[in-house]
């Protein structure tokens, strides 16, 4: 693919390829035998459609600890605090962006039925229930799950139908590229999502300025503003939302000021929102190393400047006690703490 992605056109095309509304089926990536399977510590499960992921709190030196989704899941499931948590992962077979650092091979993001399987939410839950020592967390990822926002309420309905709503925590991510949650879900479906207790959603900011966003995603840099607009809409729902941010950038020029502007924008949505956003360090997984050129290697190096700038901004705006709070206790819009 050359040039920038036409995000809206591509999103609609991929949605059409990934959702069978009449039969309530979704196109889910077949991980078994895929290039991505090289990066797994254990083979794919659930008939090739799933994998086990270990989320870890520890991060490399210099990076903030990552409590997602460990702390929200532990809180919901009444577990004592852990430093890691296992999750059953399913990936939808489409994404509308092409981040160079994506750990999913691009061939698994095109809504290609030869690399995926049509299944209902109920069939996914059936396969999950057959997993030995099954995790208590189900992670719906991608791809971009919100190309098919029906996936989340359908999974919730199936979990409820089996009486599993209190013993399973559902987690999904969203690249903040479209308004399909509002455009395609009925009010009743949105109510299911907003009213579901054991659910958390993480919103992924793909850069800290237009340049880094465009460099990372191959989509128009101005869509970073759309990311903020969509985040604002989610903050107005009852959904328990968190954020990730990636800071790979081709340029270090004026980085501290640009990062300050990024944190300003987060705070313009909700004063404590930065405390709910976790920067993720980009590293080279198997599919990534093949895509990298000198500018990408520089971008990986530039992250160290960016994360220092992020930490500096947060330390100017929040006390160390506030920054040490459990992320679940951060109220985005009000006084910190609970
Ligand atoms: S938005 Fe996510 S799934 Fe899509 S290309 Fe970027 S990292 Fe990969």
Q: pLDDT (tens digit, 9 = 90+) per residue, 198-241? A: 999 999 999 999 999 999 999 999 999 999 999 999 999 999 99
**pLDDT for 85:** 97
Please tell me the residue having the least CA distance from ligand 1 atom 8. 102
Residue 142: half-sphere exposure toward Cβ, Cα within 13 Å = 34
Q: Which of 159, 185, 183, 188 is closest to 171 using CA atoms? A: 159
104 lines ligand 1 (CB under 6 A): yes
Q: What is the CA radius of gyration of the chain?
A: 19
Mutation test of ligand 1: which of 1, 102, 139, 216 has the most ligand atoms closer than 8 Å to its C-beta?
A: 102
pLDDT > 70 fraction of the chain, expressed in percent and rounded: 98
Confidence band (pLDDT; 50, 70, 90) for 40? confident
Parse the chain into domains and list their residue ranges.
7-329
Tell me: pLDDT of 170 over 90.
yes
* 98 CA: nearest ligand 1 atom: 5
- Cβ neighbours of residue 57 under 8 Å, at least 6 residues apart? 65, 66, 67, 70, 82, 83, 84
Q: Please check the confidence at residue 335 and state whether its pLDDT lies above 60.
A: no
Q: Please state the rounded mean pLDDT for residues 262-275.
A: 98
What is the per-residue pLDDT for 254?
97
Residue 260 CB burial class (10 angstroms; 0-12, 13-18, ≥19): middle
pLDDT band at 307 (very low <50, low <70, confident <90, very high): very high
98 CB less than 6 Å from ligand 1? yes
Beta-carbon contacts of 190 under 8 Å, excluding residues fewer than 6 positions away, are 153, 181, 182, 237
Residue nearest to atom 7 of ligand 1 (CA): 102
User: Which pLDDT does position 168 carry in this prediction?
Assistant: 98
Q: Best mutation site among 144, 146, 215, 280 for ligand 1, i.e. most ligand atoms within 8 A of its Cβ?
A: 144
Q: Tell me which residue of 80, 317, 148, 179 sits closest to 70, measured CA to CA.
A: 80
The top-level CATH class assigned to 7-329 is alpha beta
**CB distance 97 to ligand 1 below 6 Å:** yes
* Mean predicted confidence (pLDDT) in 298-318: 97
Token reading at 322:
């506030």
pLDDT, one tens digit per residue, over 19-36 is 999 999 999 999 988 877
111-127 residue pLDDT tens:
999 999 999 999 999 99
Residue 338 has pLDDT above 50, yes or no: no
Residue 180 CA to residue 153 CA, distance in Å, equals 13
**H helix intervals, the chain:** 7-18, 70-77, 121-129, 151-161, 180-184, 187-195, 210-217, 223-235, 255-269, 286-289, 294-317, 320-323
Percent of the chain with pLDDT over 90: 90
State yes or no: pLDDT of 290 exceeds 50.
Answer: yes
CB of residue 282 inside a 6 A radius of ligand 1: no
**Average predicted confidence (pLDDT) for the chain:** 95
Residue owning the nearest CA to atom 6 of ligand 1? 99
Determine whether the shortest distance from the Cβ of 143 to ligand 1 is under 6 A.
yes
Residues 6+ apart with CB under 8 A from 274: 263, 266, 267, 313, 314, 317, 318
pLDDT-derived band at 283 (thresholds 50, 70, 90) equals: confident
Averaged pLDDT for residues 243-266: 98
Give the single-character DSSP code of 114.
G
Q: What b/e string do you get for 274-299 counting C-beta neighbours within 10 Å, with b at 16 or more?
A: bbbbbbbbbeeeebbeeeeeeebeeb
For ligand 1, atom 3, name the residue with the nearest CA: 143
- Centre of ligand 1 from the C-alpha of residue 99, in Å: 5
Token pair in block for residue 302: 């530039």
Q: At residue 336, does pLDDT exceed 70?
A: no
């Amino acid at each position: 693919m050359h040039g920038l992605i036409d995000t809206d056109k591509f999103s609609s095309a991929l949605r059409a390829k990934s959702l069978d509304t009449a039969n309530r089926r979704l196109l889910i990536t077949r991980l078994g035998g895929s290039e991505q399977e090289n990066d797994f510590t254990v083979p794919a499960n659930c008939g090739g459609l799933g994998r086990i992921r270990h989320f870890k709190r520890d991060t490399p030196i210099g990076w903030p600890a990552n409590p997602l989704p460990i702390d929200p899941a532990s809180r919901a499931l009444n577990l004592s605090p852990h430093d890691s948590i296992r999750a059953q992962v399913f990936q939808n077979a489409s994404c509308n962006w092409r981040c160079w650092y994506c750990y999913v091979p691009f061939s698994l993001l095109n809504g290609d039925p030869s690399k995926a399987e049509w299944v209902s939410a109920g069939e996914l839950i059936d396969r999950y229930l057959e997993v030995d020592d099954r995790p208590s967390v189900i992670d719906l990822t991608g791809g971009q799950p919100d190309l098919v926002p029906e996936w989340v309420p359908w999974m919730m309905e199936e979990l409820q139908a089996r009486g599993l709503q209190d013993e399973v925590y559902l987690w999904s991510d969203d690249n903040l590229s479209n308004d399909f949650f509002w455009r395609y879900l009925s009010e009743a479906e949105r109510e299911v999502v907003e009213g579901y207790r054991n659910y958390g959603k993480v919103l992924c900011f793909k850069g800290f300025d237009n340049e880094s966003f465009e460099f990372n995603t191959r989509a128009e840099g101005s869509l970073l503003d759309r990311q903020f607009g969509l985040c604002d809409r989610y903050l107005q729902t009852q959904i328990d939302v968190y954020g990730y941010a990636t800071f790979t950038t081709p340029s270090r020029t004026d980085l501290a000021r640009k990062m300050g502007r990024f944190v300003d924008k987060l705070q313009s949505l909700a004063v404590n929102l930065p405390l709910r956003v976790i920067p993720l360090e980009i590293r080279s997984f198997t599919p990534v190393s093949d895509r990298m050129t000198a500018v990408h290697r520089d971008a990986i190096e530039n992250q160290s400047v960016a994360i220092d700038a992020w930490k500096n901004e947060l330390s100017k705006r929040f006390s160390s006690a506030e920054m040490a709070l459990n992320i679940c206790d951060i109220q985005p819009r009000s006084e910190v703490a609970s």
